[in-house]
């Protein structure tokens, strides 16, 4: 039974897809950054194994993308960089971990890479977005969040860097957010959403949209895209934003959520109509003996890379 232990060294880590598609760091347009960080999880433990599980599962993907009509990996080249912020050492506190992540992401972005960060707990996104904030300076961008939870608490269990606070930290950076698929919040978050006019696309709204008639002129995706106030976007996907029948292996599961095709349709529209600066996929918590979650997460990453490649004209 596979338990996806963390690799002892970076060289032990599976690359995304296979080393045969890796043209090396300098030539790669896309880099995958594993961040096996887990320090504040409050329910199911094990998302520190998420990056290793996703990378291992990616080796089982077919390289040919049926929707895009090409072998995306070979067409653009993907490089997997050394993992960071591994909590096994116990040497990093929450703030130091976020700083380490921010510095690495800033460097990768300044090198012109499209970075796909894979976690690990969702607090990682705070460090990732901080890295982009530094790299881009005053250039505005919106953080688009697929998630079951608001993650807008100011503190939780004594920490401002808890995974339940990550989107509050994004707001603290002065960045707009558009949360999608939300279906679990506390009173503090409800008040903040109301008072700061956060344009949430609720899970119930998405479910109701499945019953729209052909005469309806707008969809939840239209409303989500329209709510984004900037040309540039960063996409963060907490995998519990998807329905648990699609990805059951998450740390804080919730009923309801986006279907597989909801997710693909939205990500395709977002990356086509907006300028994506990067993305992350968080909170994969592998379930022993059940590989569907990590395989689906790997396929989602591959498809999103393909959408970005097509939008940027990297595919023939």
pLDDT tens per residue across span 71-89: 998 889 899 999 986 665 5
- Number of separate domains in the chain: 1
> What is the rounded distance in angstroms from the CA atom of residue 283 to the CA atom of residue 291?
15
In a domain, 306, yes or no: yes
pLDDT score of 80:
96
- State the residue range of the domain holding 124: 10-311
> What is the rounded distance in angstroms from the CA atom of residue 99 to the CA atom of residue 221?
34
Residue 135: DSSP 8-state: H
| pLDDT surpassing 80 at residue 316 | no
CB contact set of 297 (below 8 Å; sequence gap of 6+): 50, 54, 57, 118, 239, 247, 281, 284
β-pair type (78-80, 30-35): parallel
In a domain, 61, yes or no: yes
pTM, two decimal places? 0.94
In a domain, 46, yes or no: yes
Give the mean pLDDT of 20-29.
91
> What is the rounded distance in angstroms from the CA atom of residue 182 to the CA atom of residue 232?
22
Tokens of 178: 């558009």
Could you tell me if 101 and 124 are in contact, meaning their C-beta atoms sit under 8 angstroms apart? yes
The pLDDT tens digits of the residues spanning 212-266 come to 655 555 799 999 999 999 999 999 999 999 999 999 999 999 999 999 999 999 9
Calculate the dihedral angle through the C-alpha atoms of 308, 310, 315, 316, rounding to the nearest 10 degrees. -170
In a domain, 43, yes or no: yes
In a domain, 5, yes or no: no
Could you tell me if 150 and 184 are in contact, meaning their C-beta atoms sit under 8 angstroms apart? yes
Q: What is the CATH number of the domain that holds 286?
A: 3.40.800.10
Work out the pLDDT band at 91, boundaries 50, 70, 90: low
Burial bucket for residue 246 (CB in 10 Å: 0-12, 13-18, 19+): buried
> What is the rounded distance in angstroms from the CA atom of residue 117 to the CA atom of residue 301?
10
Cis previous bond, 120, omega within 30 = yes
Strand-pair partners of 78:
30
Region of poorest pLDDT, from 156-165, 184-193, 226-235, 252-261: 156-165
The residue written with tokens 């519990």 in the block is 240
| pLDDT surpassing 60 at residue 9 | no
Q: Is 190 helix (H, G, I), strand (E, B) or coil?
A: helix
Number of other CB atoms surrounding residue 304 within 10 Å:
23
Quick one: which of 250, 258, 246 has its CA closest to 299?
246
In a domain, 316, yes or no: no
Could you tell me if 225 and 270 are in contact, meaning their C-beta atoms sit under 8 angstroms apart? yes
pLDDT score of 187:
98
In a domain, 226, yes or no: yes
H helix or E strand, kind and range, residue 235: strand 232-238
């Amino acid at each position: 039974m596979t338990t996806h232990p963390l690799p002892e060294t970076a060289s032990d880590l599976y690359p995304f897809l296979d080393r045969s598609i890796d043209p090396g760091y300098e030539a790669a347009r896309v880099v995958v950054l594993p961040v096996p960080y887990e320090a504040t999880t409050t329910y199911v433990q094990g998302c520190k194994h998420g990056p290793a599980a996703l990378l291992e599962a990616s080796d089982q993907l077919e390289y040919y993308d049926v929707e895009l009509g090409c072998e995306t990996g070979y067409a653009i080249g993907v490089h997997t960089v050394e993992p960071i912020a591994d909590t096994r050492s116990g040497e990093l506190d929450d703030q130091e971990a976020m700083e380490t992540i921010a510095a690495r992401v800033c460097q990768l972005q300044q090198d012109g890479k499209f970075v796909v960060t894979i976690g690990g707990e969702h607090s990682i996104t705070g460090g990732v977005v901080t890295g982009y904030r530094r790299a881009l300076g005053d250039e505005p961008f919106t953080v688009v969040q697929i998630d079951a939870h608001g993650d807008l608490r100011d503190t939780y269990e004594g920490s401002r860097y808890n995974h339940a606070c990550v989107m509050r930290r994004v707001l603290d950076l002065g960045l707009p957010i558009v949360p999608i698929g939300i279906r679990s919040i506390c009173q503090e978050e409800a008040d903040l959403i109301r008072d700061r006019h956060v344009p949430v696309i609720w899970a119930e709204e998405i479910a109701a949209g499945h019953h729209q008639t052909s005469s309806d002129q707008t969809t939840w995706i239209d409303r989500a895209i329209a709510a984004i106030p900037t040309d540039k976007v960063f996409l963060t996907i907490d995998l519990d934003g998807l329905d648990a029948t699609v990805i059951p292996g998450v740390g804080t599961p919730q009923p309801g959520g986006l279907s597989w095709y909801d997710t693909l349709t939205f990500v395709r529209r977002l990356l086509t109509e907006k300028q994506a600066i990067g993305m992350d996929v968080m909170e994969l918590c592998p379930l022993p003996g059940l590989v569907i979650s990590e395989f689906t997460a790997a396929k989602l990453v591959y498809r999103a890379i393909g959408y970005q490649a097509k939008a940027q004209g990297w595919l023939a």
